[in-house]
Structure 1
Amino acid sequence: MYLRPGFVVFIVGCTLTSLSTIIIALRYYCRYWLMGTTGLTDHLMLMALLVTWGNTVVNYYQDKTSSSFRPSFFRIPEKAPQIQAALQGTLLTWYIYRITYNIGLCFVKLSILFFYRAIASNVTFRRLTYATIALVSLYTFGVTIASIFQCENPVDAWDTTAYLSQFDGKPGRAKSKTKCYDPIRLWVMSAAVNLFSDVVILLLPIPTLLGLRVPMDKRLALIGIFSVGIMAIVASCVRMWVMALWSESPQNSARFGADLLLWGQVETNSGIISSSIPFLRLIFRGRGNGSGGKSKEDEKQRIVRPGISPPQQEQQQDQRQGNPELRIEPAGKDEEKGDPNDSPGWNPFITVPASLHSQTSSRGSAQLDDAVRPHLTV
């Protein structure tokens, strides 16, 4: 049975985005019900999911409109009235997709970076995080504006008369007066910058994690948790390769257009899933310990004592129970410690109260899920 490439893109998009929806729902469950807090990083990822669903709907209409004609019809003037409506739908959906695709990736990356910002007490790490946030925001804004104004008059981007005129080789025939630039260079540049920013985001926390004062196996495991985003980098590399093939000629554009959309779905959903999976460790930890985490009533009772901040109150409770506070600090950075009150719960890089990990854990051997359970609203 033959399946149109565009229909395959839609099916894959629905499957991956549905999986991302489940992961995001579980993430909110862990963050709100088990930790009692959600933050900007969660809401940015939710926005990325909504944009990805929008792209999936756009992929459906891209397939529906483009299946109504063949590329060979462009060179037959008599076919123009028959394909005009479907061609206009194809041009319009591609115009929308070029804008929303980069916005969706931007939300994914900002979600990860704002999580880094929340756990960064190391000055260099924090500055690099802010610089990367600025880079991602600025280039996304620039690419979005350039995509919107691909033509001097944006409406010309889906004008069928202007589009078909480029295939009309009859001498003496008046050409369209629309002013549009060739967007291929913009798309290739955008794909390259997306890949570069993916690599930067992956490598950003690794130097700090290597400097943590914990056993090497725990250090490597933390690096593994932060490195699950390599899935998105692999997808971005494949999409970059497809982009290079797609941009070689008009014939390749028709041939590899569906592949470009397919790997765009894989790239975005890989970023959503891989960056949300570390938050789901709380579910399995709850099963292993026989409890699903603290109830909302416990969270309310934890912050009822006046004059004592929540981390201080919890630390005093832990000391009464004989559980010292676990501090994961960069080796050789003791002189950089600041006032604990400046960044409660994360001093100087990651500080996790012992009550958040298994009662059977010893000092310096906390479970890995504690590294992603900050007191701070992330």
Structure 2
Amino acid sequence: MYLRPGFVVVVVGCTLTSLSTIIVALRYYCRYYLMGTMGATDHLMLTATILTWGNTVINYYQDDTSRRFRPSHFFKPEKRPQFESALQGTLITWFIYRMTYTVALLFVKLSILFFYRTFASSVKLRRFIYGTMAILILYTFGATLASFFQCENPSDSWSVTFYIGQFDRMKDKSKAKPKCYNPTKLWVATAAVNLFSDVVILLLPIPTLLSLRVPINKRLALIGIFSIGIMAIVASCVRMWVMALWGESAQNSAQFGPDLLLWGQVETNSGIISASIPFLRLIFSRRSQTQKGESEKRVIVISPPKPLEDGDAHRPLQQMDSMTFFEPGNEDPEKGDGGSSPMWGGFITVPASLSSRSRDSGSGDPEKPHLTV
């Protein structure tokens, strides 16, 4: 069964953007209900998700309008009246897309950098983060402005007459030509800048994560979570390669246009997902803490010691039945040592949270439980 490339772009875009929306919603849940705090990093990511949905809608109209004609029709003047309205819709959607795509990537990267700022301890790292933000904002503003003013008169960018005039073998030189520049170099340059900034943002937290005073396995786990952003870098590399092919000729623009849109969706949604997944760890850690708290609240029932019999009068104290408290199954749930060292933790029937609270108070060391014989 043949699937139209534009239809595949729409399906992939809707699937990835829906997944990104679910993950961002879970991120809001973790930040608001579990942590009780929210910041600019969350709102920026929500804005990026909304813009990504906008790009998905634009992709749908790009597919809907472009499927009504073929590039070979451009060379047949008799067929032009049949597809002029559809061609104009395609040109307008492309004109909007190349600006909203760049802005959506900006909000994703700003959200990540605002999150980095929360744990940046050194002044140099903070300054580098602020400098990266400023460069990305200025670059996006410049690229958006350049895309909008591709032609001296912006409306010439979606003019059907000027676009079809490129394919006329016998051009009328008396007609005024629009003053436009070739945008291929600009778009390839923006793709290269996007790739470079993705690599910088990925490597930015690595020194801080390596310097954390945590076990090496947790340190590597954190690095692995942050390294999910490699997917965005791979998508950016592929998209830049497709961009180079797309800009070689008008025929290549029609052939590689769906691939360009597809990898644009993968790049943006990969950034949203990889930047939001670290916050979802709170859901699983909260569940494990709840299960641990329930296990610590178990009340250990201790049977009273048996009365001494006639033969037990001279039996040593350490061999009495009270020593069964040290057997496996009666160990301290906080220590988890399986009864390897004698502890009287079995007599403590209050939850561990109360014990930890008493240790933090200013009353000194907690009173050690003892056995009265």
TM-score normalised by the chain length of structure 1: 0.76
Aligned partners of 1:45 and 1:107 also within 8 Å: yes
> 2: CA distance between counterparts of 1:142 and 1:60?
27
> 2: CA distance between counterparts of 1:321 and 1:67?
71
Counterpart of 2:149 in structure 1 is 149
> 1: CA distance between counterparts of 2:175 and 2:360?
79
> 2: CA distance between counterparts of 1:323 and 1:224?
34
Counterpart of 2:339 in structure 1 is none
Q: Which residue type is aligned with residue 63 of structure 2?
A: D
Deviations 1:83-114 (Å, cap 9, x if unpaired)? 11000000000000000000000000000000
Closer/same/farther in 2, CA of residues 43 and 174 from structure 1, 3 Å limit:
same
> 1: CA distance between counterparts of 2:187 and 2:22?
31
Match among 322, 328, 336 for residue 359 of structure 2: 322
> 1: CA distance between counterparts of 2:220 and 2:284?
20
**How many residue pairs align between the two structures?**
301
Counterpart of 1:135 in structure 2 is 135
How far is 1:26 from its partner?
0.4
Aligned partners of 1:34 and 1:292 also within 8 Å: no
Q: Which residue type is aligned with residue 53 of structure 2?
A: W
Counterpart of 2:166 in structure 1 is 166
> 1: CA distance between counterparts of 2:292 and 2:28?
14
> 1: CA distance between counterparts of 2:359 and 2:220?
28
Point out which structure has higher relative CO (alpha carbons under 8 A, 6+ apart): 1
Deviations 1:201-224 (Å, cap 9, x if unpaired)? 001111222222333333222222
How far is 1:241 from its partner?
1.6
Q: Secondary structure at the match of 1:166?
A: helix
> 2: CA distance between counterparts of 1:105 and 1:31?
22
Q: Which has the larger radius of gyration?
A: 2
Q: Percent identity?
A: 71
Aligned partners of 1:17 and 1:49 also within 8 Å: yes
> 2: CA distance between counterparts of 1:322 and 1:201?
42
Q: Secondary structure at the match of 2:118?
A: helix
> 2: CA distance between counterparts of 1:184 and 1:241?
13
Deviations 1:319-363 (Å, cap 9, x if unpaired)? 844369xxxxxxxxxxxxxxxxxxxxxxxxxxxxxxxxxxxxxxx
Residue 84 (1) aligns with residue 121 (2): no
Counterpart of 1:274 in structure 2 is 274
Q: Which residue type is aligned with residue 359 of structure 2?
A: G
Q: Secondary structure at the match of 1:227?
A: helix
Closer/same/farther in 2, CA of residues 34 and 249 from structure 1, 3 Å limit:
same
Counterpart of 2:125 in structure 1 is 125
Residue 106 (1) aligns with residue 106 (2): yes
Counterpart of 1:56 in structure 2 is 56
Counterpart of 2:206 in structure 1 is 206
Aligned partners of 1:232 and 1:270 also within 8 Å: yes
Structure 1 residue runs without a partner (length 5+): 294-316, 325-378
Aligned partners of 1:286 and 1:292 also within 8 Å: no
Deviations 1:109-128 (Å, cap 9, x if unpaired)? 00000011122121121111
> 2: CA distance between counterparts of 1:268 and 1:172?
43
Residue 232 (1) aligns with residue 232 (2): yes
Q: Which residue type is aligned with residue 229 of structure 2?
A: G
Deviations 1:1-21 (Å, cap 9, x if unpaired)? 221100110011000000111
How far is 1:260 from its partner?
0.5
Deviations 1:285-327 (Å, cap 9, x if unpaired)? 122222799xxxxxxxxxxxxxxxxxxxxxxx99844369xxx
Query: Mapping of 1:55-74 within 5 angstroms?
Result: 55-74=55-74
Closer/same/farther in 2, CA of residues 171 and 268 from structure 1, 3 Å limit:
closer
> 2: CA distance between counterparts of 1:202 and 1:323?
39
TM-score normalised by the chain length of structure 2: 0.77
Counterpart of 1:35 in structure 2 is 35
Structure 2 residue runs without a partner (length 5+): 294-353, 362-373
Closer/same/farther in 2, CA of residues 292 and 157 from structure 1, 3 Å limit:
farther
Aligned partners of 1:30 and 1:279 also within 8 Å: yes
Q: Secondary structure at the match of 1:18?
A: helix
> 1: CA distance between counterparts of 2:285 and 2:159?
56
How far is 1:78 from its partner?
1.8
Q: Secondary structure at the match of 1:169?
A: coil
